[in-house]
Structure 1
Amino acid sequence: MSSWRGSVALALLLAGCQGASVTRDAGGNLRAYIDEARRLDARGAQKAIRGVCASACTIYLGMRNVCVEPGAQFWFHAAHLPDDPSPDSLGSLEMLAFYPPRVREWVMRSGALDSTDFDKAKMLSGEALIAMGVPACRDAPL
């Protein structure tokens, strides 16, 4: 494993997010993330993403009140079923449906949901997402 992959893997194994701010979130069960994003949206809650947001965490980009820090990192990969590393096309389509239009276009153009591997080419910075129209965080609480 290359050193940057090892660093990413270690970062992604660290604690996930709770509440309104993401600092390190390696993703997980897609259904749970969809339910959480919908629950937060229904309350009008803000979701601030400041650190590493990978896998299912990236669906938070589709929330009404999401914001990202320029230095945040978003790691994309295809959805997959538990104990099966092969891509789950239906799960990936669900993820795609949550992304804002310009992010969705990038994901489709880059093939970011074509495989279940993390790859530096399938990473977007918060700065890149802000350029795509995702709101930047402004004094959002940690």
Structure 2
Amino acid sequence: MKDRSTRLRERFCTALGRLGVVLLLPGLVMTGSRPAEAQAGNAIIVRSDRGGYIGQRDQQISTLRAQGTRVELHGTCLSSCTMYLSLPNICVAPSATFGFHGPSRNGQPLSPADFERRSLAMARHYREPIRSWYLNQARYTVSGYHQMSGAQLISMGYPSC
């Protein structure tokens, strides 16, 4: 019988695997619940993340910030995944693709007050000039994405991986 901490760790790693996240810990890489050989360090490598709920991502980002975890964005980062851009220990691969859009409820419009609140929650995770661009343009797209490359973000001051 597995102890509680082992079950929680496995659930956490499985959830990360569903998000396309690889967690690097000293001497171990965990993708989903499968360990493999790894480089040393404390980092999360995002290769394919389609987004999710703003509140859940906000909590995850708060935890990563408090732990000083490095986050490397490679591949596709859509929707709430772009909130990682607020982390101080972030890097972006030039070939990465980012997709920005406004908040919705499963593609359905929100009330004006909810739309504003959630848009501002997203925007606070972006540096200028992305924050202004998001608030003035990208948030009004709720079907599809405004795409931006990692190279474009790097040219705006984000560190390259």
User: Which letter does structure 2 place at the counterpart of 1:95?
Assistant: M
Residue of structure 2 in register with 1:78 after alignment: 102
**What runs of 5+ residues in structure 1 fail to find an aligned partner?**
1-13, 138-142
Residue of structure 2 in register with 1:58 after alignment: 82
Residue of structure 2 in register with 1:98 after alignment: 125
Residue of structure 2 in register with 1:107 after alignment: 134
- TM-score between the two structures when normalised by the length of structure 1: 0.78
- Cα deviation for residue 65 of structure 1 reads 0.6
Partners of 1:117 and 1:95 in 2: CA distance? 17
Partners of 1:130 and 1:98 in 2: CA distance? 16
Partners of 2:120 and 2:83 in 1: CA distance? 11
Partners of 2:107 and 2:78 in 1: CA distance? 18
- Cα deviation for residue 104 of structure 1 reads 1.0
Among 144, 147, 160, which residue is 1:118 paired with? 144
CA RMSD of aligned residues (A): 1.7
Kindly indicate whether the alpha-carbon contact (under 8 Å) linking 1:96 and 1:104 is maintained by their aligned counterparts in 2: yes
Residue of structure 1 in register with 2:20 after alignment: 17
Partners of 1:34 and 1:115 in 2: CA distance? 21
Rg comparison, structure with higher value: 2
Flag the structure with higher strand content.
2
Instruction: Tell me how many residue pairs correspond in the alignment.
Output: 120
